[in-house]
């Protein structure tokens, strides 16, 4: 069930609908099954909402839909309601999907670097591409490219040069926003609460859509006790789970730096205790703090924050830039791989760790020495670390 956010938000009517999985989308057991169910349930709910509003004399004038819900754009098309796509990944990713889906660049089977017709971007290797674009991609992600093709079909069917709203900004992606003349890409980001962006509304501190239950861990007081730019913040998103072996390597890497860290580790879905997942838990807690949840923007904007060890999801990258914090990229799958490439070689606001083997693009283990090496460069007093902080 998609639940309504806070009723205190004025001038917005929320229309929650059932996505078919009241126990959470993971209960579907298969992401493709969930995407299919969401399309069916969502289309029917939106259709009923449009018709109900029409009968009540409050017809819907415009529909804004986002990256994985093309069915909302298709409903708008069916009812001849103007619509706009809100793209929640970088403009660079929009361009990559466009060039691939329109047969301008073929990525399948590539082993060498690839040059895209996007001015200013670095050459991309297959390992820099979204993982589902490679022939080695797990079948679980097969739903992605067909969805992106649907986006371009919807935009083209509109006829005129369609505007696409993108969670980015000109200074970050000037060339990618203008690489496709067919559409009008407009950067409207960073989509960050005002209290952390322009400071015009100090009460605007949250999106109000946290997927994880908040805890009472007193991490702010702990951060207050640390020196400026001394803390490594480690967080791997709302859903991603790293293997026990990888967690041990991260732990050893953090210990090797001898620097304080704040590490967000969600409770295990199977109820496994943290001490059973981390053999060096006691040693870790002498050096840093482990929590199940925190306000990421609060942490990143804190004066003690020196580095962000992240999977490189787009929201996390934007929040790190808004907070001026360099990152160590730890990408695993999908768009994280491209985001990490942009961070290291285009914006130069961080480093990407390297796996110990040349396994698949979304596989392999990153060893402790590599993690420590990257953290020490980014947080060090050397020229390279200073430049990354300046760029961020």
Q: Are 375 and 232 in contact (CB under 8 A)?
A: yes
The ranges of the chain with pLDDT < 50 are 1-7, 358-362
pLDDT of residue 141: 67
Residue 105, token pair as written in the block:
């660049």
What is the structure's pLDDT at 24? 66
Query: What pLDDT, on a 0 to 100 scale, did the predictor assign at position 114?
Result: 76
Q: Reply yes or no on domain 78-187 having CATH 3.40.640.10.
A: no
Per-residue pLDDT, 281: 86
Q: Write down the architecture of domain 213-391 according to CATH.
A: 3-Layer(aba) Sandwich (3.40)
Return the pLDDT at 140. 60
Domain(s) labelled CATH 3.40.50.2000 in the chain stretch across: 78-187, 213-391
Query: Looking at residue 8, what is its pLDDT?
Result: 53
Rounded distance between C-alpha atoms, residue 189 and residue 349, angstroms: 18
Instruction: State residue 50's pLDDT score.
Output: 95
- Runs of H (alpha helix) within 268-354: 274-277, 281-287, 296-300, 314-323, 336-341
Rounded to whole angstroms, the Cα distance separating 104 from 116 reads: 9
Closest CA to 392 of 93, 190, 172: 172
Nearest to 99 by CA among 77, 76, 124, 80: 124
Q: Please list, in sequence order, all residues whose beta carbon lies within 8 angstroms of the beta carbon of residue 34, skipping any fewer than 6 positions away.
A: 19, 20, 21, 25, 28
Spatial distance between the Cα atoms of 116 and 161, rounded to a whole number of angstroms: 22
Candidates 371, 372, 354; CA nearest to 363 is: 354
pLDDT score recorded for residue 121:
77
The pTM score is 0.88
CA distance 273 to 97: 41
- Spatial separation of the C-alpha atoms in residues 125 and 113, rounded to whole Å: 4
pLDDT value, residue 360: 42
């Amino acid at each position: 069930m998609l639940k309504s956010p806070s009723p205190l938000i004025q001038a917005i009517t929320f229309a929650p609908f059932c996505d078919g999985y009241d126990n959470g989308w993971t209960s579907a057991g298969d992401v493709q099954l969930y995407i299919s169910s969401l399309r069916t349930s969502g289309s029917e709910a939106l259709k009923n909402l449009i018709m109900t509003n029409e009968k009540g004399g409050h017809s819907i004038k415009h529909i804004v839909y986002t990256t994985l819900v093309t069915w909302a754009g298709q409903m708008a098309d069916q009812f001849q309601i103007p619509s706009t796509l809100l793209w929640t990944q970088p403009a660079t990713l929009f361009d990559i999907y466009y060039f691939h889906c329109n047969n301008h660049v073929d990525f399948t089977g590539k082993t060498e670097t690839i040059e895209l017709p996007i001015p200013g971007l670095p050459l991309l290797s297959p390992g820099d591409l979204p993982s589902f674009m490679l022939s080695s991609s797990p079948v679980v992600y097969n739903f992605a490219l067909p969805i992106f093709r649907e986006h371009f079909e919807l935009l083209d069917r509109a006829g005129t040069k369609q505007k696409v709203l993108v969670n980015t900004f000109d200074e970050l992606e000037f060339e990618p926003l203008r690489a496709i003349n067919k559409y009008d890409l407009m950067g409207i980001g960073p989509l960050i609460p005002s209290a952390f962006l322009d400071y015009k509304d100090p009460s605007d501190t949250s999106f109000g859509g946290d997927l994880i239950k908040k805890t009472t861990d007193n991490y702010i007081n702990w951060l207050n006790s640390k020196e400026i730019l001394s803390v490594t913040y480690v967080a791997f998103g709302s859903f991603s789970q790293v293997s026990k072996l990888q967690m041990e390597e991260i732990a050893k890497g953090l210990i090797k730096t001898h620097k304080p860290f704040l590490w967000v580790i969600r409770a295990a879905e199977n109820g496994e205790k943290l001490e059973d997942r981390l053999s060096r838990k006691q040693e870790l807690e002498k050096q840093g703090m482990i929590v199940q949840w925190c306000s990421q923007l609060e942490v990143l904007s804190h004066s003690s924050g020196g580095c962000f060890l992240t999977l490189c999801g787009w929201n996390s990258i934007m929040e790190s830039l808004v907070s001026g914090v360099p990152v160590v990229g730890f990408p695993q799958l999908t768009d994280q791989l491209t985001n990490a490439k942009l961070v290291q070689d285009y914006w130069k606001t961080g480093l990407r760790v390297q796996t110990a083997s040349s396994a698949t693009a979304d596989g392999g283990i990153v060893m402790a020495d590599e993690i420590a090496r990257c953290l020490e460069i980014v947080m060090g007093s050397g020229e390279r670390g200073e430049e990354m902080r300046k760029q961020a």
